[in-house]
Amino acid sequence: MTPRQQRMVLVLFILAGAALTVGLTVAAFRQNLLFFYTPSQIVADEADTAGRTFRLGGLVAEDSLQKSADSIEVRFAVTDTAQAVTVSYSGVLPDLFREGQGVVVRGSWQDGIMIADEVLAKHDENYMPPEAQAAIEAAKTLEQ
């Protein structure tokens, strides 16, 4: 093999190694990516929720909170003022959680209900996650 051919083989091995590294990095990133959806996107089936963990944001719908008397199971609806999605959560809710307030829920979609792993309530009356605020504003413009 001539020196030129040896250099070409070396360059090809380096390029193959770099491509493999980039491919594995992108695959790992996609597995850990956590998408944010609104209730309207989920109801319209625009969200790829099958077997994935994702975030749902909006407002806790008025008169939707149902607490189980003998356990810590809670059901409530999250709305963007246009559509609502039922959420089931087993755990202690944040102190600031209440109807009419902003919330972001992390979990998965099962049989038409979001099974939540985590519930985050907005921390004061002036804050709402930017994604949730944008979704509510977009839903309000659709209603008009």
For 40-82, the DSSP string reads HHHHTT-S--TT-EEEEEEEEPTT--EE-SSSSEEEEEEE-SS
Q: State the residue for tokens 């804050």.
A: 127
Is pLDDT of 13 > 60? yes
Global pTM reads 0.67
CATH of 39-122, one of 1.10.10.10, 2.40.30.10, 2.40.50.140, 2.60.120.40: 2.40.50.140
Residue 97 tokens read as 């959680």
Residue 125 identity (one-letter amino acid): E
Kindly give, in sequence order, each residue whose CB lies less than 8 Å from that of residue 39, ignoring residues fewer than 6 positions away: 56, 58, 78, 79, 80, 82, 83, 84, 85
In whole numbers, what is the pLDDT of the chain averaged over residues?
84
pLDDT interval class at 71 (50, 70, 90): confident
Query: Which helix (DSSP H) or strand (DSSP E) does residue 37 occupy?
Result: strand 35-37
